Structure 1
């Protein structure tokens, strides 16, 4: 990320989530200015400006001090450096009237902060962690391993179902039961494996097409966000919970990965809601819309296991909350 984009995004986050105002600062050099943020508090007025180290002497700080008659003013200079500079930052800080924060923009970490700038440095460090995570995600493999294995397994099971049914458009119910569909009487007689096997069976080419399309996108996001093990927990607990909800509330034979996919929707929703300033608000709105639309369609159209969808969604929400809260304690 370029220095300009780094400063722009940092300013946006300070303004949107920490109640700062965007501020343009004068330069001693004509025709030049710098960007930063300001916050007028009860005890002091704070100004934070983002600079290159080479621009240290060019900021017109006298204008700011004169504006407030040198009373209750705190100016924080945030320097972005490319690599470790051979500079004693403590001495530089002592020689300056202003507080300083030094950020290594390549490593996305704080190199130095003066005593009265620590609160701001903590916020900048969080923002840098956010940018570092984005950088890691861009380098990630396009389709995570577990998601690929799940899609491949579903396709293999569908091809077997289609072969035995003699059709790719509509799976034979007897074949589905033979391969492990959810059927209440059989589960009640001890065939508990059906709570899992039903997740890998589908009623036809359209059914599996929609589900695998959703699994590709949602699975990729969840696996990247949580890692392989936690993704497996969310997916399978969601799928099993879906089968259990269907078992208790529906007598119909049921198949499909929809319940586990609804669990992934719940996981992404909680993940974004818990991200604070990092949250993707547009994504949150889209997820809520998709969940609501699918539930409504499930109640309107026949042969849709809405109880399974709701069971998977609830499990995804709960498991993800537990995972995030557990991680915070570590």
Structure 2
């Protein structure tokens, strides 16, 4: 998830256009600079919004107090800190000699912490603007073209194989074997491409249906939250490590076909996204994830004997590790 680099400008624009805050430039001659604050008269005091930093907010606050105090005007200062490391900045602020009302915004994730803010209405405005700016789940700004391409390829291949099979409801094992289904003895003999071909083959129509539904929802969300290159790498890793782990740990003669290695990898990635942004994700989203896990488990246990649970688990772990790795790299 890319950080919103201009969140300060977004907030300023909203302040000026939507809630009619006026920009006031104070000449801060002692420090050879100007202080830009955004003010609004409320009853018997002036609300002052000050975008600031830890190195300057104390002097700025004192000057703002002095400026309005010398004119007999009460002012209420709210400091807004747009930072990279929310926890360290917040702790330092609390330990300082002077602090006013403060709102901390993590520019990487949009997470918000506040201290001593009395204006709940203003705080909610900040939260709403930031949330809209950072929200990427089902974002219109990004597409799910790669996910739809994988779904389309899977459907086309299924109906081609079904036509060869003479029955599109259920595909015979010998046809799956001919088409490239994952079967361990053949992989041992050097047919490694079966590891990458098998996810796009399906034993029956129901397995295909469950697979593409899961892929559409899980894949669309993940694809919209990471780059296209990372999405492709994630899927390739999910396929390879899922099927290869199955080959190493579960040597058998059972066909392994279906989108399950891709889907469990995406669900693992989705878990990291959901927990990372849990403050802005509805609880129903977690129910949604859990429902698809149950749906795929039921499909593997009761409806199809061509889904490898070891491969599913390995793919899920790959999704967790890969997405967590992206998160750590982006910090």
Question: Would you say 1:184 and 2:187 are equivalent positions?
Answer: no
1:148-187 correspondence to structure 2 within 5 Å: 148-187=148-187
Q: Does the Cα contact within 8 Å between 2:137 and 2:224 map onto a contact in 1? A: no
Question: Would you say 1:232 and 2:200 are equivalent positions?
Answer: no
| Alignment partners' CA distance in 2, 1:123 and 1:192 | 45
Partner of 1:29: none
Partner of 2:320: 317
Question: Would you say 1:53 and 2:37 are equivalent positions?
Answer: no
Partner of 2:267: 265
Partner of 2:293: 291
Change (3 A) 1:215 1:301: closer
| Alignment partners' CA distance in 2, 1:300 and 1:209 | 15
Consecutive unaligned residues of structure 1, counting only runs of 5 or more, are 1-9, 11-49, 62-74, 80-88, 104-114
1:28-47 correspondence to structure 2 within 5 Å: none
| Alignment partners' CA distance in 2, 1:102 and 1:320 | 30
Partner of 1:211: 211
Partner of 2:67: 95
Helix, strand or coil: the match of 1:191?
Answer: coil
Question: How far off its partner does 1:150 sit?
Answer: 0.7
Of residues 284, 292, 309, the one that matches 1:306 is 309
Q: CA-atom RMSD, angstroms?
A: 3.5
Helix, strand or coil: the match of 1:122?
Answer: strand
Between Structure 1 and Structure 2, how many residues are aligned? 247
Helix, strand or coil: the match of 2:290?
Answer: helix
Question: How far off its partner does 1:241 sit?
Answer: 2.0
Question: How far off its partner does 1:286 sit?
Answer: 3.2
Q: Does the Cα contact within 8 Å between 2:161 and 2:175 map onto a contact in 1? A: yes
After TM superposition, what 4+ stretches of structure 1 lie above 3 angstroms from structure 2? 75-79, 89-97, 100-103, 115-119, 121-130, 135-138, 292-302
Q: Does the Cα contact within 8 Å between 2:78 and 2:102 map onto a contact in 1? A: no
Deviation by residue 1:280-307 (Cα, 9 ceiling, x = unmatched): 4331243235425644664566614222
TM-score normalised by the chain length of structure 1? 0.64
Q: Which has the higher contact order (CA 8 A, sep 6+)?
A: 2
Partner of 1:122: 105
| Alignment partners' CA distance in 1, 2:80 and 2:320 | 39
Q: Does the Cα contact within 8 Å between 2:181 and 2:197 map onto a contact in 1? A: yes
Change (3 A) 1:144 1:296: closer
Deviation by residue 1:76-114 (Cα, 9 ceiling, x = unmatched): 7449xxxxxxxxx999776343324589xxxxxxxxxxx
Change (3 A) 1:301 1:99: same
Change (3 A) 1:78 1:279: farther
Helix, strand or coil: the match of 1:98?
Answer: strand
Deviation by residue 1:207-235 (Cα, 9 ceiling, x = unmatched): 11121111111111110011211111222
